[in-house]
Structure 1
Amino acid sequence: MGVVVVRVLFLGGLGRSGTTLLERVLGCLPGVCTLGEVVHLWRRDLIDDERCGCGQAFSACGFWHEVGKRAFGGWDRLDPHHVLRLQSRVERTRHIPSLAGRTRNDDARDYALYYARVYAAAAEVTGANVVVDSSKHASLAYCLRHAPNIDLRVAHVVRDARGVAYSWTKTVTRPESDRRETMTRYSPGRAALLWSAHNAAFGLLGARGVAVRRFRYEEFVADPRGVSLSIAAFAGLDLHTGALDFLTEGADGSVYADLPPAHSAAGNPMRFRTGPVEVRADESWRTALPPRQRRLVAAIAAPLHGAYGYPITGRRT
């Protein structure tokens, strides 16, 4: 029996770039199964038993129970601490130069195979043709390329660095945790450095034989139908506009996505939202981010900002 290859659409980029909204919209398309940020599955779900996107504790979620059964014979047969030890050895931004090499990396391959088993099981449970992982980490995408049974497609999602930097300054509570924890925060300068490093890493990934295509957050919120179909085509799905009936237009021209519950392993709090959600641009940074910080972020991100088509002045594109 041959190796079963699972097609994976990996949403990559720096957090706060709109990937959760994009993932939720893609999850409404036929033939697509979205899993949230699988990179956090081993710690937050298997060890800490945090809540799935459906609202239930991970251990009580029927979907994830079936995935674990098909992937490993049950989650109790898997040692998540072993996976985390592999993760600490290979899945780090500082390891990207070695992961990008042509030589075989056994640790990266072993680590990626755990993901491959989860992806394949999820595809089997749902009957999906494409599994979406919105982990975003460039280092994980580099590891996944070492798994022979993953057909990896990377949707590189970028957003104006000033909007990303402002979002990282906000205090956001993690609703899936009972300990009232808040999400990580960064200063605008630190966020701009991370924005540049992570996005540059995805540019290099495309030069290593992985299918990578860049999508801008601002274009997605301006045309969710067109960009969704474009991403679906990139993932190998042949869809027609009727597949987007879950997107409706309000009287004022606003577009709403009718979102069902999702079985996301981790991610932005928006993964818990259901029902009609407006697909709109969040441009609060234009007034909320102080001018001095806007200039600092623009200066740090300038090389890639220009390459991605973002004006230095901050005017709307």
Structure 2
Amino acid sequence: MARVLYIGGLGRSGTTLIERLLGELPGMCALGEVVHLWQRDIRDDERCGCGAAFSACDFWDAVGERAFGGWHQVDVYRVLALRETVERTRHIPRLAAARLPEDHVELIEEYAGYYSAIYEAAATVSGASVVIDSSKHSALAHCLRWSRALDLRVVHVVRDARGVAYSWTKTVARPEAGGGAEMTRYSPARSAMLWNAHNAAFGLLSRRGVPVRRVRYEHFVADPRRGLQELAGFAGLDVSTADLDFVTEEHAELKPVHSAAGNPMRFTVGQVPLRRDDTWRSALPTSQRRLVGAVCAPLLRAYGYPLRSSR
């Protein structure tokens, strides 16, 4: 049974940073955002985090061979059709139910089975005890909980909604796609609604028996060594002080990884500064800060964030 550490939360919350740091620990293998592998990698042959095209990456070639007898054996359009049927944010209330119609459970299990095969193969190829999927999507986490082939543990990453909203307004290039492609952008109002929906959805997982550990981005970057020790323990691994030598309170040393998709930070190698990003306090207009704060007030309060923000 594959042990999976699923990193979830709304994008721009620090999930990629946490995944990269966890991936440096012995016994862990970071896979990136597997939810995008079907389209961006198998179909479009975008670049792996190691820099090679997906089709030219030895790691992913070995994973595909072990999981499916080769990626050419995967019906990508079937996977994407299943995703549309069962793994959408609007389906979460249904996915979170204690029981579902048998025919719907069969579809969810078929969909989750593709992920289970990848996780199991990646663990074998890498020799890791735990594989990390930073897909973020709350709906995918709810689908995976129905799989009996997974030991699923979820890290729910939250960041101040106003910081997330500001980050979604910025233009970020997707170098792996070429042609000047950019990551999606959202208005502050749109990102506030998504922040509420996705974070609330992760709260539902724990009610269904899934182990969930909530991490505040701001707390994690303030003491990353402690944060890594706690998350490693949550994943069932023991780490020594020496295992954490790559990270200090100010920076971390990162090696290349075979991340399938995700934030461009997955290509970063070498020394990376670790600092809390509060640019939003001065860069996000006051009216937008107040709007996001009002929309997200209940969960901001629940997570311990102040409702009033100062510049």
TM-score w.r.t. length of structure 1 = 0.95
Correspondence for 2:184: 184
8 Å CA contact 2:155, 2:212 repeated in 1:
yes
CA distance in 1, matches of 2:214, 2:67: 31
Correspondence for 1:7: 3
8 Å CA contact 2:154, 2:211 repeated in 1:
yes
CA distance in 1, matches of 2:180, 2:107: 35
Map Cα deviations across residues 228-247 of structure 1 (whole Å, 9 max, x no partner): 11011111111122210111
Select 1:273's aligned residue among 268, 272, 284: 268
Residue 78 of structure 1: CA displacement?
A: 1.2
Map Cα deviations across residues 97-139 of structure 1 (whole Å, 9 max, x no partner): 1111222511111100100000000000011011000000000
For 2:279, the aligned partner's letter is: S
The secondary structure found in structure 1 opposite 2:92 is: helix
CA distance in 1, matches of 2:66, 2:49: 20
The secondary structure found in structure 2 opposite 1:11 is: strand
CA distance in 1, matches of 2:48, 2:275: 25
Correspondence for 1:40: 36
8 Å CA contact 2:8, 2:136 repeated in 1:
yes
Structural mapping, 1:50-61, within 5 Å: 50-61=46-57
For 1:179, the aligned partner's letter is: G
The secondary structure found in structure 2 opposite 1:46 is: helix
CA distance in 1, matches of 2:250, 2:47: 29
Matched, 1:28 2:24: yes
For 2:145, the aligned partner's letter is: R
Structural mapping, 1:290-301, within 5 Å: 290-301=285-296
Matched, 1:165 2:165: yes
Q: Which runs of 4+ in 1 moved over 3 A?
A: none
Structural mapping, 1:84-233, within 5 Å: 84-104=80-100, 105-233=105-233
Residue 179 of structure 1: CA displacement?
A: 2.2
For 1:302, the aligned partner's letter is: A
Select 1:305's aligned residue among 279, 292, 300: 300
Residue 178 of structure 1: CA displacement?
A: 1.7
For 2:84, the aligned partner's letter is: S
The secondary structure found in structure 1 opposite 2:43 is: coil
CA distance in 2, matches of 1:180, 1:50: 14
Correspondence for 1:258: 253
Map Cα deviations across residues 87-106 of structure 1 (whole Å, 9 max, x no partner): 11100011111111222511
The secondary structure found in structure 2 opposite 1:243 is: helix
Map Cα deviations across residues 149-182 of structure 1 (whole Å, 9 max, x no partner): 1000000000000000000000111111022111
CA 1:128/1:286 → structure 2, altered by over 3 Å: closer, same or farther? same
For 2:308, the aligned partner's letter is: T
CA distance in 2, matches of 1:186, 1:299: 18
- Supply the RMSD in Å over aligned alpha carbons: 1.0
Structure 2 stretches lacking a partner, 5+ long: none
State the identity as a percent.
64
The secondary structure found in structure 2 opposite 1:153 is: strand
Residue 315 of structure 1: CA displacement?
A: 5.2
Select 1:62's aligned residue among 42, 58, 71: 58
Correspondence for 1:287: 282
8 Å CA contact 2:89, 2:139 repeated in 1:
yes
The secondary structure found in structure 2 opposite 1:247 is: coil
Structure 1 stretches lacking a partner, 5+ long: 249-253
Correspondence for 2:239: 239
CA distance in 2, matches of 1:297, 1:258: 35
